[in-house]
Structure 1
Amino acid sequence: MTPDEAIAEQLRLAPSVVAETPADFAPRIAAGLDVAYLGDTGRLVAAVACVDIESGQVIDSALVTGTTDFPYVPGLFAYRELPSLIQALAAVTTTPDVLVCDGHGLAHPRRFGLACHLGVTTGIPTIGVGKNSMGDHEPPARQRGSWTALIDGTDEVGRALRTQDGVKPIFVSVGHRIDLDTATALVLRLSRKYRQPETTRAADQLCRQALKVAESHPTEREQRL
């Protein structure tokens, strides 16, 4: 798929996003998803970490290695990362109630970021949590739990959320089958001690560990380079 074809597909799929929470939504297990790259080799690792929401403990995880030849194009990260993330999700034995994606959802130029794509593909309620803003916002108050609207054009596409007193905010947006109030509250609940939710932290740690292993075992091509 070319970048132009990918953009056309995003525009076609964007109306499929549901920004409402199911009436019976009572999540117990949240899965964090993350991807890391081995330089510019095209090799990547994708991780899923399932966290018990009540205790904050990791109860299941999976890691897969993969490759991508889709170019690095802002707004099209799903086309580099989604196939490996789906494989990692299939590898966990625990069925998560909600996915917390290290990437944006509706906070996206075409209102179809990685979190939306992941949610529409799996049918699981999904939240996007970004480290950087994809829109304009006023700084939230310094207290934990404070938030301000994230605005793109005339649309509220998410929230800048302060998860700990005085730390930089993170950016929460709807992925699929969840509303913004519920997504914000759940991300705050998962962010027990640190800026990032425990789901993202656990998946990121898995990726970092896997990268260390991959760097110590380069492919034959990388050895030649």
Structure 2
Amino acid sequence: MLKIRDLHSWPSTESEAVAIQQRLRPLVRVETPTATPRTAAGLDVAYRDGDALVAVVTVLDIATLAVLDSVVLRSTTTFPYVPGLFAFREAPALLRALERLTVLPDVLLCDGQGLAHPRRFGLACHLGVLTELPSIGVGKTPMGPFDAPEDVRGAWTPLALDNDVVGRALRTQAGVKPVFVSVGHRYDLDAACALVLRLAPRYRLPETTRTADHLGRIN
């Protein structure tokens, strides 16, 4: 059963949220995974009218890409839309969805950023630190400028913020835009990109993201 670490209360102001990110950032660990993951979770949030949202988690068998478990949770966010603080809108509902899983995933793949974040603490870092599960951020858009990788599957270029390499623009398929991969927690960038490629055999986005996004659209 998943246990959520009680490291902070959920803030109501931007300054409180920034302080939480700065306090938790040193807890992020970048490390080579010691075991080959067998299951991976995709996490996505779909927004409805007003502050209503649908948080979705799907768990896939990495070898077959079969969906082993899924949770769809309807909720309402109480935190405003502030760039760099999306975790405070989305993480509370995603954490409740994770707690309802019957299959505990070996790694989380978040539709968002990890270290590729102004304070190096995006959604993937936040969820990883609170759950102590390995986590990876797979964003659809970059946090800053980047050079386009070669148009072949597996090509990549570095993502940099303030002269720090924080992730990679990774081409998962030829002829489509890259995705933007960054470490969340308990992973390294080489292993993260290798896993994203393994989970994206046919399309731009990994199957973890695709299955979660699909459930969010139909529920």
Question: Which TM-score band applies after superposition, normalised by the shorter structure?
Answer: over 0.9
Answer yes or no: is 1:199 the counterpart of 2:208.
yes
Identity across aligned pairs (percent)? 62
Query: Hey, what does 1:28 align to over in structure 2?
Result: 38
User: Alignment partner for residue 14 of structure 2, among 3, 6, 11?
Assistant: 3
Which runs of at least 4 in structure 1 moved beyond 4 Å after TM superposition? none
Unaligned runs of 5+ in 2: 1-10
Query: Hey, what does 1:128 align to over in structure 2?
Result: 137
| CA RMSD, Structure 1 to Structure 2 (Å) | 0.8
Q: Is the 8 A contact 2:113 2:124 kept in 1?
A: yes
How far the C-alpha of 1:22 sits from its partner, in A, is: 3.6
Q: Distance in 2 between matches of 1:192 and 1:100?
A: 16
Identify which range, 132-141 or 180-189, moves more after superposition: 132-141
Query: Hey, what does 2:100 align to over in structure 1?
Result: 91
Larger helix share, 1 or 2: 1
Query: Hey, what does 1:66 align to over in structure 2?
Result: 75
Secondary structure in structure 1 of the residue aligned to 2:92: helix
Q: Is the 8 A contact 2:110 2:209 kept in 1?
A: yes
Q: Distance in 2 between matches of 1:175 and 1:11?
A: 15
Q: Distance in 1 between matches of 2:181 and 2:27?
A: 19
Q: Distance in 2 between matches of 1:180 and 1:99?
A: 14
Q: Is the 8 A contact 2:152 2:174 kept in 1?
A: yes
Structure-2-length-normalised TM-score: 0.93
Answer yes or no: is 1:179 the counterpart of 2:179.
no
Q: Write the deviation string for residues 147-191 of structure 1: whole angstroms up to 9, x where unpaired.
A: 000011110000000000121000000000000000000001000
Unaligned runs of 5+ in 1: 211-225
Secondary structure in structure 2 of the residue aligned to 1:134: coil
Answer yes or no: is 1:37 the counterpart of 2:51.
no
Higher radius of gyration, 1 or 2: 1
How far the C-alpha of 1:84 sits from its partner, in A, is: 0.5
Query: Hey, what does 2:175 align to over in structure 1?
Result: 166
Secondary structure in structure 1 of the residue aligned to 2:74: strand
Q: Distance in 1 between matches of 2:33 and 2:114?
A: 18
